[in-house]
Structure formats: structure tokens, C-alpha cells
Amino acid sequence: MTPLFVLAAEAPTVPPPLTVTRGFTAWEFDPYLAAVVLVAAGLYLYGVWRLRGRGDRWSGWRTFSFVVLGLGSIVVATQSFLATYDTTLFSVHMVQHMVLSMVSPIFLALGAPVTLALRTLARRPRRWLLVLLHSRVSKVLTFPLLTWSVFVGTPFALYFTSWYGLTLRNTYFHEALHLHFLLVGCLFFWPLLGLDPVPGRIPYPFRMLVVFLALPVHAWLGIAIMSSTEVLGGDWYANLGREWGASSLSDQRTGGGILWASGDLVGLIILGSLFVQWLHASEREAERVDRRLDRQERRAAGEPGEESELAAYNAMLARLHARSRR
């Protein structure tokens, strides 16, 4: 029996050339992935329904972000023409890479599913979730230095070793690569965006620093791929030139440019979002400090504050009760 890690196709099957029409029609339906996405969307929407059913509010933007943009982008990356051509064109693979590692995790995090779960789960499942969130494993997996290192380091290990060729030749490793992109992106972005009470959250200046330090690494990787004179994946893309008359090396340079440009663009958007969040958090903190100082000043000046007003109200009720007994 042939071991799993050496299973390989003799030569890739080259689909018809990618056109605008093929971009809309070349979809591959994956029933298992579709089932997982539908279950995730159903659970999220059920939580929103329960929350609103008892009169609590939940942002419609969060629902749209998680269900449509987050889960929807996963479907597009793994079942659209991106999945059909991801082993044929390196540039298409790179678009898929960026969607799964940066776009989908960001929108899933903005949906705040952990917060929704904590507000809707029964007591025992909620306690289990809290135990998981506060466990040592969760703290290690969301440690910023570790997540940053994995997020920026594994693409170098993937594209400049034999690993990338293995993911092209083996279906199981290929699917595992998609899962890796998504999970690493979630572990990296979830604590940075800070909407859910997950471990690994750090002050806003350090969050911005972590994102800022990731920008040049993506640029270096993109430039390294664009400058390479060897086709990544070995002879896997050899059929492309014979079937399409296209240059695999030229397509690879396009993929490197996509990585460089999209990585910097998404990173700058995240930096801007974190800066806005930081300003809002500072304003809320300033308002809390002002209210505390106002209470202290009223107490120091002997002016009636909330506590003294409550005491006066209780005293009045006591006097009325005493009079009613005479």
C-alpha cells in the first residue's frame, strides 16, 4: 500500500483557459465544506434569534460580517473558480491564500461569535466555553509573539521548501493547507481586533505594532517570489505552457505581486481600524475618569451625590412609615 505522503498525480489536469465566463461558471461543490458552513451559519443565526427573542440587541453589521462576508468568503475561496484553478495558476492560488488567511478571519472576528455564544448558551456550556478561553492552551495559542511568528513565517517555509509541491500533488495536504491558512489567520487577528473576550489581547499600541511589523515581511515574501528564477512547485506547472501557451514563471511573478499589494493594503486597513478603536476606547476611558472625578469632587464639597440622594430618599420613606403608625 502506498503511504499517504507519497500519493501523487502523474500530471495535473489543466482546465480550459480562465476567462470572465469561466470565472462565474467554474465552481466546484464540496458537500462536506458546504455542510460545515451551513451549520456554522445556522448556529450563529439561531443565537441572534434567541438574543433578540428575549429583547436584547445585536448588531446587524456583526451578523452580516460573520455570515455573509466571513463564511461567504470561505465558500468563494474553496468552491469558486479560485478552487478550480488554484493548482493550475499560482496567481489564483495566491488570491485564495490571501482570502483564507486575511479576509475571512477578519470578518469572522468582526462577527464576535464568542460574545454571542457567551450571551446565549445555557449555564453549563457557557462555563465550559469560559474554561476553554481561560485555559493554558488558549493562552499559548493566542500569544502574540507566537501567532505573529507563525503567521509571517509559515509562508516562507511553504513556498521555499518542498512543502508547496506536496500540497499540489496530494489532496489531503492541499485541504489541510486551506485549513491552516484559516486557523492561523483567526489566531492572529482575533485578539488584535479585540471584539471577543479571547486570550492574547494586548494594549492598542502593541496591537498596531504587531500589524505594522507584519507588513514588511509580506512585502519581502512577495518580492522574493517575484524575483525567483525557478518555478515554485517544481515541474507541476509544466503542462500550463503546453496547454495554454502561457509562462508559469510570469504567472508566478503576478502571484508575488498580488501577495505584496494585497498584504500591504489589508494591513493598512487594519491599522486604520485599530487606530479608530483606540481613539474610541480612550474617549470612553476619559468619560469614566471624568465621572469618577466629579463624584469625588461632590463628596469633598459636601454636595449631594447619588449615594446621599439615595440615603435622603430612604430617610423620607422611614419618616412617612413612622407617621403612618401614629
Per-residue confidence (pLDDT) for residue 3, from 0 to 100:
42
- The structure's pTM equals 0.81
pLDDT in tens, 120-176: 998 899 999 999 998 999 989 889 889 999 999 999 999 988 899 889 888 899 999
- Is 14 within 8 Å of 240 (Cβ atoms)? yes
Report CA-CA distances (Å) from 142 to 139, 148, 210. 5, 9, 13
Distance CA 81, CA 126 (A): 39
| Domains in the chain: boundaries | 16-324
Distance CA 109, CA 187 (A): 10
Helix boundaries (H) for the chain: 20-25, 31-53, 60-63, 72-79, 81-85, 90-98, 104-110, 113-120, 123-133, 136-141, 144-159, 163-169, 171-193, 204-227, 238-244, 248-301, 306-324
Per-residue confidence (pLDDT) for residue 4, from 0 to 100:
42
Distance CA 175, CA 195 (A): 29
Amino acid letter, residue 225? I
- For 274, other C-beta atoms within 10 Å of its C-beta total 20
Distance CA 288, CA 158 (A): 48
Per-residue confidence (pLDDT) for residue 78, from 0 to 100:
93
SS3 269: helix
> Residue 275: CB partners within 8 Å, gap ≥ 6?
208
Distance CA 134, CA 26 (A): 44
**How buried is 270 (Cβ within 10 angstroms: 0-12 exposed, 13-18 middle, 19+ buried)?**
buried
Per-residue confidence in pLDDT tens, the chain, 326 aa: 334 444 444 455 677 878 888 888 888 888 888 999 999 999 999 999 999 888 889 999 999 999 999 999 999 999 999 998 888 889 999 999 999 999 999 999 999 999 999 999 988 999 999 999 989 999 898 898 899 999 999 999 999 888 998 898 888 999 999 999 999 999 999 988 878 888 878 888 888 888 888 888 888 999 999 998 888 877 777 666 556 656 788 888 999 999 998 888 888 888 888 888 888 777 777 777 767 776 777 677 655 555 555 566 566 666 655 555 55
